[in-house]
Amino acid sequence: MVDRRDFLKYTGLGIVAFALGAGVGYTLKPTGVGEGAKTVTVTKTQKFTETVTQTVTGAEKLKAAWIYVGPIGDYGWTHAHDIGRKEAETAFPWLETSYVENIDEAKTRGAIEQFISEGYKVIFTTSFDHMNPTFEAAKDHSDIIFFHCSGYKRWDNMGTYFADLYQVYYLNGLMAGALTKSNKIGYVAAHLIPEVIRHINAFAIGIKEVNPDAKVYVIRIGAWYAPDKAREAAATLVENGVDVLAFTEDTPSTIQFAQSYYEDKDVLIPVFSHYSPMYEYGKDVVVSGQVVRWGKIYTDILSKVYSGFYTAKNLKDVDYWWLLDTGAVDVGAETYDDHLWINSKFKTQFDGIRVTEKYTGSSMSLTELIESRYSQMKDRNMVFDPFTGPLSGTWYLSEGGTVLGKEYSPGDPVEIPKGVRLGHDDLWGMGWFVDNVIIQRE
């Protein structure tokens, strides 16, 4: 008969030993296991602007469903998508729509199946979180058309779309660089994935153009929809000397924080609105921001589905990557119809700031610089792009990756030579930060 205490103590020792062993084993584990280092999806970037409007009377209604990651009441990302859904529904009498909110990756598959059983033929999933379940569902339901927003996986019946904001963030950066006095600018980031990294970089490039000394401090909150976390992150940034804020999170929480800070402490923290027009949440603090008109993309996709141009067989190369020139995105924070809207309170300030245009060397007001860059990027021929060398930075993402065909691993310095412009794939898989971004190391 084993003594009770002894037994327990030995088992306890065993557990400790196991834990130690596992720990040691873990640290010694072979690294870099796994096939092929990366999967780069190269596809034609579609730039349709003409909308095929076709009215077929008497035909069956097309049923389309949207799956949202947050609530439509977030007044940010999901809200903007829902405005787009409503726009499509109003535009097409033959369209019937439905949606479901608050679907994270665990719930996505169930929501998709539910919609399919309800007879929906087109399903939009609107978060990076939804990518894998959507992809799985697309392979299983070859007769249903899927469109996934912000991802990179496509199938015969699954296309992707995105309205990208990097140009808009660059323009916001021009403004932020002029507004900071402490030379510390804060950025509340949902996740550090290429999309957000690209936006932070574009913002930082704009800042550097008008203020080479300013740095961007980033806090990652680890969720797309987390107004409470965004608020805490914003407060932490401000307590540490940041005096201008931008963010990628799906709610106006950061703006509400800045507005209340202004009211309580009489300290102005200028902030940039994100996705939906958020001016009314912070009339004293919102400078400008990014506006997305998803309706442009949704009406385009749905009219092409309805007319039979898109089927469940030909979507493998359909990838919308819509920029300023398409009208799907814009600079502003007041309404969805903004065209380079800047809060007048700040605009008068910008009128008085003199800057030198870096290419022509001519002297102009900041407002004029912003306006000229805006029209340059609105141009179909993309006369200007923020991601043009010389740029330098450091590779960040643990998976490593390529820039201009060259391989990089974490910590490697990245140099973009003068005059060289990054292409779609470099932007799409961006895993490095420009050098005026201060980021927690991996």
Partner 1 sequence: MFKIEVTIKKRSRELPYSGFIIPLSSIIISISISLIILGLYGVDPGKFFKVFTTALISPSSIRYAIPLILSGVGLAVAYKANVWNIGAEGQILAGALVASGLALYYIPPTMPHEAAILLLYIAAFLAGSLTALIPAILKALYNVNEVLSTLMINYIMMQIVNYLVYGPWRGKKEYGYPRTDIFPNNTILPQLEIGGLKTTINIPTLILMIGSAIVIYVILFKTKWGYEIRVYGLSEEAARYGGLEIWKIIILVMVISGGLAGLAGAGEVLGVYKQLIRAERVSAGFGYTAIIVAWLGNLNPLGILLSGYFIGVLVSMGYTLQIFTGVPYGTVNIFTGTLLLTLISLDFLSKYSPVIRVRR
Partner 2 sequence: MISLDLIIRAILAGTPLLIASLGEIYTERSGVLNLGLEGIFVLGAAVSFVTTVDSGNVILGLIFAGIAGGILGLIHGIVSVSFRGRQVVSGLALTIVGYGIASLIGAKYVGKPLPTYIYIGDKWIILLISELAIAFLLWYLLFKIKLGAIIRSVGEDPISAYGLGVDVVKTRILTTLFGGFLGGLAGGWYVLGYIHIWTEGTGMGRGWIALAIVIVSAWNPLLAPIFSLIFGGVEAAIWRFQLPPYNFNPYLLGATPYLTTLLILVIFMATPLKKYFRPPKALGIPFYREERTI
Binding site for partner 1 (CB under 8 A): 4-5, 7-9, 11-12, 15, 18, 26, 29-30, 33-35, 37-39, 98, 100-107, 109-111, 113-115, 128, 132, 136, 140-141, 152, 191-194, 197, 222, 396-400, 429, 431, 442
Complex with partner 1: residue 396 or 408, whichever CB lies closer? 396
The count of other CB atoms within 10 Å of the CB of residue 236 is 14
Q: Residue 264 touches which of partner 2, partner 1, none (CB < 5 to 8 A by kind)?
A: partner 2
Distance separating alpha carbons of residues 262 and 360, to the nearest angstrom: 39
Full DSSP string of 263-321: HHH-----EEE-SS--GGG-TTTEEEEEEE-HHHHHHHHHHHHHTTSS-TTS-TT-EEE
- Using CB under 8 A, pick the residue from 251, 273, 288, 303 that binds partner 2: 251
Q: Supply the minimum distance, in Å, between the C-beta of residue 11 and partner 1.
A: 6
Is residue 142 part of the contact set for partner 2 (CB under 8 A)? no
- Using CB under 8 A, pick the residue from 47, 61, 265, 406 that binds partner 2: 265
Distance separating alpha carbons of residues 157 and 143, to the nearest angstrom: 8
Full DSSP string of 211-265: -TT-EEEEEE-S-SS-HHHHHHHHHHHHHTT--EEEEESSSTHHHHHHHHHHHHH
Looking only at residues 399 through 438 of this chain, which bind partner 2 when binding is defined by CB under 8 A?
Answer: 438
Q: Supply the minimum distance, in Å, between the C-beta of residue 267 and partner 2.
A: 11
Cα atoms found within 13 Å of the Cα of residue 42, Cβ hemisphere only: 4
Distance separating alpha carbons of residues 330 and 323, to the nearest angstrom: 9
Q: Which region, judged by CB under 8 A, interacts with partner 2, from 120-128, 170-178, 226-234, 403-411?
A: 226-234
- Using CB under 8 A, pick the residue from 135, 155, 275, 281 that binds partner 2: 281
Map residue 421 onto helix, strand or coil: strand
Tokens of 112: 């998709």
Is residue 239 part of the contact set for partner 2 (CB under 8 A)? yes
- Using CB under 8 A, pick the residue from 53, 240, 314, 363 that binds partner 2: 240
Complex with partner 1: residue 59 or 106, whichever CB lies closer? 106
- Using CB under 8 A, pick the residue from 121, 220, 345, 421 that binds partner 2: 220
Map residue 168 onto helix, strand or coil: helix
Cα atoms found within 13 Å of the Cα of residue 99, Cβ hemisphere only: 20
Is residue 44 part of the contact set for partner 2 (CB under 8 A)? no
Q: Which residues pair with 123 in a beta bridge?
A: 65, 146
Complex with partner 1: residue 132 or 365, whichever CB lies closer? 132
Complex with partner 2: residue 229 or 373, whichever CB lies closer? 229
How big is the chain by its Cα radius of gyration, in Å?
24
Asked if residues 234 and 247 have their Cβ atoms less than 8 Å apart, the reply is yes
Dihedral of alpha carbons 293, 270, 216, 371, sign: positive
Q: Residue 228 touches which of partner 2, partner 1, none (CB < 5 to 8 A by kind)?
A: partner 2
Q: Residue 109 touches which of partner 2, partner 1, none (CB < 5 to 8 A by kind)?
A: partner 1
Is residue 321 part of the contact set for partner 2 (CB under 8 A)? no
Interface with partner 2 (CB under 8 A): 71, 73-75, 102, 217-221, 225-228, 231-233, 235-237, 239-240, 251-253, 256-257, 260, 264-265, 281, 438, 440-441
